């Protein structure tokens, strides 16, 4: 389970035990792993960089999709010997789609991707990560980080401009469940429809399940008092046949 935007893995446990997704999944026999994004309280160890060093924060979500998420999935796969169902909310969902599009995560290790557009307190992230996300919003595209210099972009990408993430490269037969809310102002319905417009031609329609919850805002998918009935029951019904 990938953590939320500027939160750590504790965010999944905001709700009481019978209403939070990790505990519900565990009670149903799933082996649940919770991740903590780079830079948050429980994810600040590095082989040689100190969190107070400027270089420690030289990363964007490109790096999370290219390095961190694949390593996490590989660890779970090697430890359990079973394919992974990845559940993400907000940034966690973005990382999964990007990693799949780039081939950083193979379908030999992932059996389903679940996307929620949806107190540990606010957690740290890098300035570059914030800048990268703002670039995506301003340009209206899902593209890699723009270093703001054609020569530097050329060094990283082989071109003057950062390349787009090609969602059509996501494996066609990967089961994908997307749940989004009509009152979400961070991942609004219009943006999700654009995403679906890119995903639907690429995926097997029998493998894509879309749920729209009209009155749900961003964090209702995590903290909503009725999320276990409205969202989680459908999610588990999607997952169970994939065991």
Average pLDDT over residues 168-175: 94
Query: What's the confidence (pLDDT) of residue 172?
Result: 93
Q: Which residues contact 79 (CB under 8 A, 6 or more apart)?
A: none
pTM above 0.85, yes or no: yes
Q: How far is CA 57 from CA 52, 70, 140, in A?
A: 9, 20, 25
Domains of the chain in sequence order: 5-120+165-240 (3.40.50.1820)
Q: Each residue of 174-210: pLDDT tens digit?
A: 999 999 999 998 888 999 999 999 999 999 999 999 9
Give the Cβ contact number of residue 49 at 10 Å. 14
Q: Each residue of 77-120: pLDDT tens digit?
A: 999 999 999 999 888 888 999 999 999 998 788 998 887 654 43
């Amino acid at each position: 389970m990938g953590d939320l935007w500027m939160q750590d893995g504790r965010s999944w446990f905001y709700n009481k035990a019978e209403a939070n997704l990790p505990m519900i999944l565990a009670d149903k026999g799933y082996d649940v792993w919770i991740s903590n994004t780079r830079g948050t309280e429980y994810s600040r160890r590095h082989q040689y960089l100190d969190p107070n060093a400027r270089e420690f924060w030289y990363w964007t979500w490109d790096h999370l999709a290219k390095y961190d998420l694949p390593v996490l999935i590989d660890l779970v796969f090697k430890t359990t010997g079973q394919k992974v169902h990845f559940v993400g909310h907000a940034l966690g969902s973005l990382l999964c789609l990007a990693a799949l599009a780039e081939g950083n995560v193979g379908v030999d290790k992932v059996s389903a991707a679940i996307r929620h557009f949806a107190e540990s307190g606010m957690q740290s992230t890098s300035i570059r990560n914030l800048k990268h996300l703002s670039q995506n919003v301003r340009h209206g595209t899902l593209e890699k980080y723009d270093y703001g210099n054609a020569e530097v972009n050329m060094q990283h990408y082989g071109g003057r401009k950062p390349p787009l993430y090609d969602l059509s490269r996501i494996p066609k037969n990967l089961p994908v469940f997307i749940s989004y809310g009509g009152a979400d102002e961070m991942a609004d319905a219009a943006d999700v429809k654009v995403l679906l417009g890119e995903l639907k031609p690429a995926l097997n329609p029998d493998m894509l399940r879309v749920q729209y919850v009209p009155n749900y805002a961003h964090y209702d998918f995590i903290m909503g008092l009725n999320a276990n009935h409205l969202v989680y029951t459908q999610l588990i019904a999607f997952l169970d046949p994939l065991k």
